[in-house]
Amino acid sequence: MLTDARTISYAYALLLTGCISTGIRDDLTLVRDLSAAADLPEVAGPVQDSPTEIVDGILGQPLDADSAVRVAMLNNRELRASLRELGIARSRVLTAGLLPNPSFDLEFNPERQTGLEIRVEWDVAGLVLAPLRAEAAGADLDAARFDLAGHVIATGYRVRSSFYDMQAAQERLELMERSLDASAAARDAARALAAAGNLRALDLSAREAEYEEERVKVAEAALSAVVAREDVQRLLGLHGDAMAWTIQGRLPEAPLDRSALDDVERSALDASLELRAMRSQMTAAARRAGLARVEGVLPEILVDVHALVGDPAAPDALAIGGGVGVRLPLFDRGDGRVAEYEHELDAAFERYVGAAIDVRSEARTARARFTSSAERVRHYREVVLPARQRVLDETLLQYNAMQVSIFELLEALRERQRAELDAIDTRAEHMRSAALLDALLAGHRGAASQGEP
């Protein structure tokens, strides 16, 4: 009989081991589909400090915004940690769905006239409650998946936005260095004219002061370029030898396509992963309320089987018996827990309505940013820069005709360069607004709520 009991316990353990898996491969596949991410790392193995071969291969070529996002998807440490934490929600589902463990008692000197008593007890109510607990935990897992997919989208947005800022900072630095050359030419011309007695000392001092101020601005621009690159580097999770990456080309031309603006509010609502996660959280609260109601009316039923060995009257006999214990829910019927989950559900629904309102508002804001920056990019490209170029060309003609001084010519050049700086900033703003709109329509509004730099 003891052999049979041991066999049953082994079979029970093997059954649970075969049915339960803590792997998150299927969860990660769903996250990949929800976020439309082409690359997500395999996080089932141990933590690795160095980039993978795939990342090294991408870094071997000059990066653009798309390839930078690929590196971040594979190598961003915060994202990798969040992917691993998905296993926590998965494990909670598995734990919630398990049946209660049986209780084994072995007594060598029992009160009865026997030499050995063996008792096994098991809570039968767990058969009913385990599926309900698993359903509630499953809704929490769904919410974790949606939140993680939103984190993936937000990471992609941050990488794109920072990458565009880095490209714009590099372009500003190059343009300001050319502007510094113009200031140096003005200073040198002023020194030559002053040496010939054709320029006042006041004018010479003014030109030298302008040059020194330009040097300070160029130093600030150089620092901004370094900081912008480090921002990207942190998002890519790179260090050591992997920091020697280069960028491909300049800040791209702004995407002026406005097809994504059609019914942007409805599209943002339909895509919102935040709202889907909140619906899953409300489902979990509702299921826990239902579970608490069942627990409040379901009695705790303990079934036991016991065997008595060593009766002095019959030393070789084995007496087997059983019993049932019932704990009735007379006083604690779980009313407090039911009320707790119901209030949690009501509060979650209030936040859900508020979040839907915010999604609509941020969709309108993103559309306004995209439209405004697109118009300004077009205006700079088609009106402002050509106008400044005409001023420079006319000033050059006047200078060749000896109608204006070299200082006026250099000032016209600097004004055109200032307009180019503004155009670079506007183009970078439009690229960020396009990335912001893409993130919102992909399902994540957290990036939109951060606002534009």
- Cβ(273)–Cβ(90) under 8 Å? no
Q: What is the pLDDT of residues 96-117, one digit of tens each?
A: 888 887 877 776 655 555 556 6
Flag whether pLDDT at 198 surpasses 60: yes
Query: Residue 3 pLDDT > 70, yes or no?
Result: no
Q: What is the DSSP letter of 119?
A: E
Q: Quickly state the pLDDT bin for 22 (edges 50, 70, 90).
A: low
Asked if CATH classification 3.30.70.270 holds for the domain at 51-449, the reply, yes or no, is no
d(CA 47, CA 53): 15
Q: Using the structure block, give the residue that is written with the tokens 């621009």.
A: 221
- Judged by phi (left if over 0) then psi (alpha if -120 to 50, else beta), residue 446 lies in alpha
- 3-class DSSP assignment, residue 294: helix
Inter-axis angle of helices 385-400 and 406-442, nearest 10: 170
What is the SS3 assignment for 332?
Answer: coil
DSSP string over 374-401: HHHHHHIIIIIHHHHHHHHHHHHHHHHT
Instruction: Evaluate if residue 360 carries a pLDDT over 90.
Output: yes
Find the range with the poorest average confidence among 104-113, 272-281, 295-304.
104-113
d(CA 421, CA 433) in angstroms, rounded, equals 18
Q: What's the CA gap between 164 and 171, in Å, rounded?
A: 11
Q: Per mean pLDDT, which range of 80-94, 175-189, 247-261 is the poorest?
A: 247-261
What is the strand order of the sheet 300-311 is part of?
103-107, 116-123, 300-311, 314-327
Percent of the chain with pLDDT over 70: 86
Tell me what pLDDT residue 7 has: 40
Q: Is the pLDDT of residue 345 over 50?
A: yes
What is the three-class DSSP state of 38? coil
Q: How many CB atoms lie within 10 A of CB 23?
A: 10
Domain boundaries, the chain: 51-449
List pLDDT tens digits, range 374-408: 999 999 999 999 999 999 999 999 988 888 888 88
- β-partners of residue 302 are 123, 325
Assess contact for 290 and 116: CB atoms under 8 A.
no
pLDDT at residue 269 in the model = 93
Q: Given this model, what pLDDT does residue 314 score?
A: 60
CA distances, 272 to each of 69, 141, 276 (Å): 21, 17, 7
Any idea which of 93-97, 361-365, 382-386 has the lowest mean pLDDT?
Answer: 93-97
Q: State both tokens at 360.
A: 């609509």
Residue ranges in 272-405 assigned as alpha helix (H): 273-297, 335-379, 385-400
